Amino acid sequence: MGQRVNVLGVGMTKFAKPGASDDYHVMATQAGKAALADAGVDFKDIEQAYAGYVYGDSTCGQRAVYDLGLTGIPVFNVNNNCSTGSTALMLGKQAIEGGIAECVLVVGFEKMEKGALGSKFNDRTNPLEGHVGVMSKVQGFNAAPPAAQMFGGAGREYRWKYGTKKETFGKISEKARKHAANNPLAIFNQVLSLEEIMASEEVFDPLTRFQCCPPTCGAAAAILCSDAFLQKKGKKASVYIAAQAMATDLPSTFEEDSMIKMVGYDMAKRAAQQVYEKSGLGPKDVNVVELHDCFTANELLTYEALGLCNEGEAEKFIWDGQNTYGGKVVTNPSGGLLSKGHPLGATGVAQCAELVWQLRGQADKRQVPNARVALQHNIGLGGACVVTMYRQG
């Protein structure tokens, strides 16, 4: 059993639309300074840094960290598609857990361009490669951005399997907007009705425009440390990582002709099962979840992959309000990727920040009552899924 890993400090910038943000290193510096201040430590206490981003040069991490201090520490640049931020967190956690370092900085950032999520993937990194047989079965193939085709196709498959109403997917976005209205760091704070969401431009059935996350710019950071570091500094941490796991694609992704499997359902299910086993906790113990709602279809699928409800029961779970305040588990109180925004490299670290604030009781108007156990889900196609369990210290 390795050393316990505490989340001592977190920070993030307000997310912004492309063209309306500072440069990536400025945002990363702001998030890093906020995390250091929250932790009550100096940059000289940081022994290693892990920098996550998807778009950029090979050593953007150094540029981002150098404005915090030039102490000569190792800086590791991390790219794992949309799960980049949580991958960087996992690497930082392993360094603490294994006794390699006592205090590390994890920072995620992204400065995106308009339409970035809809751009065609190049041949070298195309997550559609090997899935032509699956994609060709989806009506409208090549008529929408690749990501929308994949997740929209998964939503269609779910509808065909269970007879789910299109409005069920829209209800997820309606919830996201209500939650984000209480998050000053979210990109979209305006509440939308279900009717407005369903009336927005169709991107790829069953997804409408307001059911797709926007390309976003922003940064987030976290300070991780050991119990020994806390003792040495005379500090206490109120949140620690109880368990964490990453899963990558399984044969089912490529062999079962299933869009649901293609977008990472089995990866998420496997990673969640490992986290539940490691932590000794289950879905019923979780009070609050930040999950990867890049599209409403993925949030619906993830309820079942994480075991928040049984397979085939997501529609009832949604309409009964079990995914929001007063229900079984509050999902994406931050507004999620749909409304908070999705700066790829920052997303996983921003999820961590939100859950830390929730477990500390510092989430203001969006505070989940009596939050003691939190779950994080961050997925990237290509693929990797990281699931993390946090507990009050």
Ranges of beta strands (E only) in 21-83 are 48-52, 75-78
* Dihedral, CA of residue 340, residue 345, residue 350 and residue 352, to nearest 10: 140
Query: Is 82 among the catalytic positions?
Result: yes
Q: Report CA 379 to chain centroid distance, whole Å.
A: 7
Q: Which helix (H) or strand (E) holds 91?
A: helix 84-97
Q: Which helix (H) or strand (E) holds 94?
A: helix 84-97
Query: Can you list the alpha helix ranges (DSSP code H) found in the chain?
Result: 24-39, 60-66, 84-97, 132-135, 146-162, 166-180, 194-199, 227-233, 251-255, 259-262, 265-279, 296-305, 314-319, 336-339, 344-360
Q: Which of 271, 375, 247, 251 is nearest to 323 (CA)?
A: 375
Gap between the terminal Cα atoms of the chain: 18
Which tokens belong to 257?
A: 């002709």
In the DSSP assignment, the letter for residue 327 is S
Residue 179 to residue 60: CA distance in whole angstroms: 33
Backbone angles phi, psi at 202, to 5 degrees: -75, 130
Which tokens belong to 145?
A: 């951005």
The one catalytic residue among 82, 103, 309, 352: 82
Amino acid at 353: A
Q: Which of 100, 75, 355 is nearest to 241 (CA)?
A: 355
Residue 202 to residue 262: CA distance in whole angstroms: 22
Cβ neighbours of residue 1 under 8 Å, at least 6 residues apart?
A: none
Catalytic residues, by residue number, are 82
